[in-house]
Structures are given as C-alpha cells and as structure tokens.
Chain A
Amino acid sequence: MSDLFILIVDDSPTMRRIIKNTLERLGHRESVEAGNGKEALQQLEEHPINFIITDWNMPEMNGLEFVTELRTTPEYEKIPVLMITTRGMKDDVLQAVQAGVNNYVVKPFTPETLEQKMNKLLA
C-alpha cells in the first residue's frame, strides 16, 4: 500500500478518472481531484497531499499558474509535480520546467510511463 496522497488536477472528468484508475492499479489508492488550479489550492489546504499530477490547459487557473503559485508557497514548494498534458512543444516543456514542474508526460500516456515517472520523482 502506497503512502502517497495524490492530487489529480485536470478539467476533464474523463482524464481524472483514467488517471485515478491507473493510479489505483499502481497501488496508489489515496487521491483527491480538482478541476483547475484554484480548486487544487483548496484541496491542498484540506488534505495531506504529497504528490501532484496536473494538466496544463484548464480554465480559471491553468497548470502552469498553479505550479508557479505552488512554488512560491513555502508549505507546498517541495511537493513533486508531474505534468500530464497534450502540449508537447519544446517551449512548453521548458516553460513548465521554469515554473517548477518536476517531470512531464505528453498525453496519451501509458500506465508504464506514469509508473516510471512517479518512481523517478519519488526515488
């Protein structure tokens, strides 16, 4: 049983469900969801989250804004963030890294890729 409490941030309920299911199959059963960066910040206040998976393109507060906000908050600045997005341009990845994303996966992802990326971040 994993000791991770994962926050899944994506405005698509379909994607959230896919990620949640995949995580459960990988043994990570503790997770909460958010539809955008603002909701994600609220979830962070309410739960002992220690790993974040976020999309980039979201309404209200996108993934990049969310991560930027996260990295300027001492409480959350060390939480590993994995970005899963359809944006696969070089500039996008570099922007994400600059904002504070720890690793990056382009959709569609496989469970193996997700597992490998998470293990790398948690090692």
Chain B
Amino acid sequence: MGSSMIKNDDYGEIITRIKQIKSLFAFGEGILPFLEELFVFLREVSPLLNDVSESIMNTTGLMPDAASELDTAVAETTDATYQIMNRVEQIMSHVDTLEMGQNPEDMESAMMLGEIRNDAIAIMTALQFHDIVSQKLVHVRKVMAEIQIKMLQLFTRVYELHIEDEIKENILATFGVNIEKFHNMMEKKINVDTRMTADSPAPATATKSNKNEETPPSAFNQNDIDDLFG
C-alpha cells in the first residue's frame, strides 16, 4: 500500500499547491476587472488601430500616385495656358493688323478693336493664376515627397534596431509595412532615401527656392505696399 500512502511531505506539497492556486485566484479576482477593461479596450480600440494602420499604409501607398497626379496637373495646365496664350497673342496680332488698315474716321470700329484688345490683355493677365497655383501645387508635391522620405527613414531605423525580430516586425506591421518586401529591399541594400527621391522626381518647376509659406507674422496687401513706397 506504500504507493497509495500519502506521505507528510506530499500533504505539504498539496497544501502548497492549493495555496498557490488560491493565491492565483485571489490575484485573478484582483486582476479580472483590469483584464476585462483590457479586453474591452482591445475589442473597441483594435479596429481603430487597424484603421489607422491601414490608413497610414494606404496614405503612404497612394502618395506616389498623388504626386504623379500633381505633376500631371501642373504639366497639363501649363500646356493649356500656353495654348490660351498663343490664341490671345494671335488675337492681339489681328487687332494690330486691323488697326493699321483702319479708316481713321471709323470711330466705332476703333472702339471695338480697343475693347477686343483690352479683353485679350485681361485674359493674358488672368493667366498669372496658372503660375500662382502651380507654385502651390509644387510646394504640396515637395511636402509629400518629404513625408515619404521621413516614413521610409522611420521604417529603416526600426528595421535596424537591435531588438528581437518579432518586436521589430510587429512595429513595422503596425504601420502596414510589408515585412517580407521590406526585408528583401534591405537585403538588397537599397538606399531607400535615394530610391524615393529618384522615384519621385520633382517637376521642373519644383526647383523654386524659398517657397516655404509658413504662417506669416503679418500679411501685406498691395495698398500697404504702395503706402510703404510712397
């Protein structure tokens, strides 16, 4: 019966185990509300986090498309502006020709030609808006390129951290980074910054310098400027 006999030591062991279980339950009681809150938090916040992560992924993924669309918009409006300018210059040239061969006594025609000329000049000056809008688009384009570069720098920095791969991958996955592709990219030792810059060249007009339009201390209108110059 030795095998069925329970030794004192065994009792002690059992009691210890029971105490441990009891204390675990006691701990469980204390931690349960916290765990419940955690579950609620995870249940409610996780989808939001997923959305944010997806949003970041989508946003960064869409950036090259958006940048390319901005480039196209600038190029197309430039072409359109040039076409309008060509036509306006033709109109002005016709007006010049008509004025030269005009009867000096025909005041009505002279007035009409003058009006056409003024309208043509008004169209020409209105085309300044193309340049102004283009500059703003180019600025937006540069900001987008900067954000892309910063995001990739962040991903690269995380990737190069001396931490466990799993943690690293979890962080990158939070930003919607395709770990496998990113790993391959890093393995090939591609300089992501250079690559991003090379992949997203700024349009020719993007070379404008000092286009930063940060919050101004005070804006001047033309009247203020006129006052200043007397």
Contact = CB atoms under 8 A, between A and B. Distances in A.
**A and B held together in a complex:** yes
A107 B128 contact: yes
B11 interface: no
Given A11-B208, A25-B117, A90-B224, 4 more contacts: A12-B205, A21-B121, A90-B218, A90-B219
B125 A93 contact: no
Interface string A104-118: 111111110100000
B110 to A, nearest CB: 16
A108 B89 CA distance: 19
B218 A57 contact: no
State which size class the interface on A falls in: 35 or more
22 contacts: A14-B78, A14-B134, A15-B131, A18-B127, A22-B124, A25-B121, A57-B135, A57-B208, A57-B211, A58-B209, A59-B207, A59-B208, A59-B209, A88-B221, A89-B216, A90-B217, A90-B218, A90-B219, A90-B220, A108-B125, A110-B125, A113-B222
Chain B contact residues, majority secondary structure: helix
B225 A93 contact: yes
Contacts of A57: 135, 208-211
A18 B64 CA distance: 33
Interface residues of B, number: 36
Chain A contact residues, majority secondary structure: mixed
Nearest to A108: B128
A31 interface: no
B41 interface: no
Nearest to A61: B209
B210 A18 contact: no
